[in-house]
Amino acid sequence: MTQTETSKYEMLQSVIEEMQSVLVAFSGGIDSTLVLKAAYDRLGKHAVAATAWSATLPEPELRAAIRLCSDSIGAQHHIIATDQLLHSDFTKNDGQRCYHCKIDLYTKLRTLADQLGIVSIIDGTNYDDLQDERPGTIAARSLKVRSPLVETKLTKHDVRMLAQANDLPNWDKPAAPCLSSRIPRGIPVTYERLDNVAAAEEVLMNEGFHHVRVRWYHDAARIEVAVEDLPRLLREDTRSRVLTQLKTLGFRHVTMDLDGYRQGKAN
Could you read off the pLDDT of 27-60 as tens digits, one per residue? Answer: 999 999 999 999 999 999 999 999 999 999 988 8
How far apart are the C-alpha atoms of 146 and 118, rounded to whole Å?
13
Class of domain 3-165: alpha beta
Tell me the chain's radius of gyration from C-alpha atoms: 19
Over range 173-193, report the average pLDDT.
92
One fold for 3-165 and 190-256: no
What lies within 8 Å, CB to CB, of 43 at 6+ separation is 16, 17, 20, 21, 22
In this structure, whether the domain defined by 190-256 belongs to CATH 1.20.58 is answered with no
Instruction: Indicate the average pLDDT of the chain.
Output: 94
Over range 149-154, report the average pLDDT.
97
The residues spanned by each domain of the chain are 3-165, 190-256
φ, ψ of residue 77 to 5 degrees: the values are: -135, 125
- Is pLDDT above 80 for 133? no
pLDDT at 177: 83
- Cβ burial of 42 (10 Å; 0-12, 13-18, 19+) is buried
Cβ–Cβ < 8 Å for 110, 121: yes
How far apart are the C-alpha atoms of 196 and 180, rounded to whole Å?
11
